[in-house]
Amino acid sequence: MSIATIAFGSNIQPEHHLPLAVKELARLGDLVKISAVYRTPPWGYIPQPYFLNGALWLETPLPPVALMECLLAIEQQLGRVRTLPCGPRTLDLDLVFHGNHKMSSPRLTLPHPRWKERPFVLVPLADLFLQTPPPGESQSVTFFLSQLDVSGIQKVGLSLIP
């Protein structure tokens, strides 16, 4: 069993898609902790609605690549269509960490290669890690957050506990 850190987001009916996604993720293991949900500005392709983002810890027996395949299947099940990079989406599930695994392949890179650059990932991760550094890091998530612009990010009152 490993603890996987999964970041999630949606800007197409997120109040509908995110609770369904968490329910599906709970089928893959035991939910250990879920962050608050945050309203975040779009990243990359800007003319689109704001996102709702969060993160969770999942204790799972699945190895990294198998878990990633399950995440992609959940995205597809909930209507994700990959047409525009960084565009609107019903659901985005990113495997950020999987225990202490480090890997780089065409199918999966761990830790996620851009997690330190994305405020919409780091703000929810701060809820999970508090002041403890993430796997393989000597600095806290709060340290990495201090390097980024987090203006426009607001906590919302959406409960995702299944």
Could you tell me which residue, 162 or 31, shows the higher pLDDT? Answer: 31
Query: Is 29 within a domain?
Result: yes
Where are any strands of DSSP class E within the chain? 2-10, 30-34, 37-40, 51-60, 92-98, 103-104, 109-110, 154-156
Q: Which residues on adjacent β-strands are paired with residue 155? A: 38
Smallest Cα–Cα separation from 94: which of 67, 76, 59, 117?
67
Query: Is 161 within a domain?
Result: no
pLDDT tier, 160 (very low <50, low <70, confident <90, very high otherwise) = confident
Question: Cis before residue 41, ω within 30 degrees of 0?
Answer: no
Query: Is 37 within a domain?
Result: yes
- What are 99-153's pLDDT values in tens digits? 999 999 988 999 999 999 999 999 999 999 988 999 999 999 999 999 999 999 9
Nearest-10 crossing angle of helices 14-26, 64-77: 140
Beta carbons within 8 Å of 60's beta carbon, 6+ residues apart? 1, 2, 4, 28, 29, 30, 67
Reduce the DSSP state of residue 148 to 3 states and report it: coil
Query: Is 111 within a domain?
Result: yes
Tell whether the model's pLDDT for residue 46 goes beyond 90: no
Q: Are 14 and 21 in contact (CB under 8 A)?
A: no
Q: How many domains does the chain have?
A: 1
Smallest Cα–Cα separation from 7: which of 65, 49, 66, 51?
51
Q: What is the pLDDT of residue 44?
A: 73
Q: What is the pTM of this model?
A: 0.94
Domain CATH for 49: 3.30.70.560
Domain holding 53, by residue range, is 2-156
Query: Is 162 within a domain?
Result: no
Query: Is 122 within a domain?
Result: yes
